[in-house]
């Protein structure tokens, strides 16, 4: 039995190693620009497979990180006039970002790269996930990733026979819009003699109520698209 398990594990290692390498290679040889390659590669998530199959995927992961860095920081050229673009540092890029984008950068929900030609004839602003991207959601009022949860109220406690309910309250760091989202709390699970614990996930849904006053600055360029001005 152990030989069979070992053979199956080796075959899975080979399969996942080849699978991710081929997927990365197809992205690398595509004719897309660096930004589109970066986004496609970023969505190629190894997830738990990296933990269970570290031998083949460790090398693949190193290549994965190398390619992400390459796609983000390799030299770029303007699509308008062919001139080389230069990546601005964090201080110089401020002049090219609006108020909402600066707030996103301050709370680290989004990280912007600003590329410009030497004569400022073309400016390219690229949007990437920030360190705190999981802590914020997009605001329905101003469309910036600045809506953070401020508190949670339990409306109904979950029991072994019924679901519970909680309300999460959000406030946008940009336009101060206040939103509440109701979520269902899963029922408790009784422990059986065969298992000491059981995990569960909840499903969330419901209407949200909000009130806000949005100040000028407009909306940033959609869910991850580069903006060329």
Burial class (CB in 10 A: 0-12, 13-18, 19+), 138: middle
Boundary of a domain, candidates 58, 73, 88: 73
> What is the share, in percent, of the chain residues with pLDDT greater than 70?
83
Looking at residue 192, its pLDDT comes to: 62
Q: Do residues 127 and 148 share a domain? A: no
pLDDT of residue 202 exceeding 50 = no
Q: What's the pLDDT tens digit per position in 42-91?
A: 998 777 776 788 888 888 889 999 999 999 999 999 999 999 999 999 89
Q: What's the pLDDT tens digit per position in 150-192?
A: 999 988 888 888 888 999 999 999 999 998 888 888 888 887 6
Classify residue 179: in a domain, yes or no. yes
Q: Do residues 36 and 96 share a domain? A: no
Q: What's the pLDDT tens digit per position in 103-148?
A: 999 999 999 999 999 998 999 999 999 999 999 999 999 999 999 9
pTM over 0.85: no
Q: Do residues 130 and 84 share a domain? A: yes
Q: Do residues 129 and 149 share a domain? A: no
> What residues make up the domain containing 119?
76-135+224-228
Buried b (16+ CB within 10 A) or exposed e, 53-72: beebbeebeeebeebeeebb
Query: Quick one: tokens of 158?
Result: 């979950």
Task: Classify residue 207 by its DSSP letter.
Answer: E
Classify residue 112: in a domain, yes or no. yes
Q: Do residues 29 and 50 share a domain? A: yes
Domain count, the chain: 3
């Amino acid at each position: 039995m152990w030989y069979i398990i070992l053979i199956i594990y080796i075959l899975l290692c080979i399969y996942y190693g080849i699978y991710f390498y081929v997927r990365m290679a197809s992205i690398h040889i595509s004719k897309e620009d660096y930004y589109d390659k970066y986004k496609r590669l970023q969505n190629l998530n190894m997830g738990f497979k990296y933990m269970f199959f570290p031998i083949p995927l460790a090398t693949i992961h190193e290549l994965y990180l190398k390619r992400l860095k390459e796609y983000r920081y390799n030299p770029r050229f303007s699509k308008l006039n062919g001139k080389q673009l230069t990546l601005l540092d964090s201080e110089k890029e401020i002049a090219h970002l609006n108020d909402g984008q600066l707030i996103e950068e301050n709370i680290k929900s989004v990280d912007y790269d600003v590329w410009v030609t030497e004569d400022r004839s073309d400016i390219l602003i690229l949007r990437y996930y920030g360190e705190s991207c999981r802590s914020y959601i997009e605001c329905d009022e101003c469309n910036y990733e600045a809506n953070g949860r401020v508190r949670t109220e339990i409306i109904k406690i979950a029991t072994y026979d019924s679901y519970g309910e909680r309300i999460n309250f959000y406030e946008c760091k940009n336009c101060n819009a206040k939103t509440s989202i109701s979520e269902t709390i899963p029922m408790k699970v009784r422990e059986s003699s065969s298992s000491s614990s059981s995990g569960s996930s909840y499903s969330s849904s419901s209407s949200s109520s909000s009130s806000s006053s949005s100040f000028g600055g407009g909306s940033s360029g959609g869910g991850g698209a580069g903006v060329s001005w």
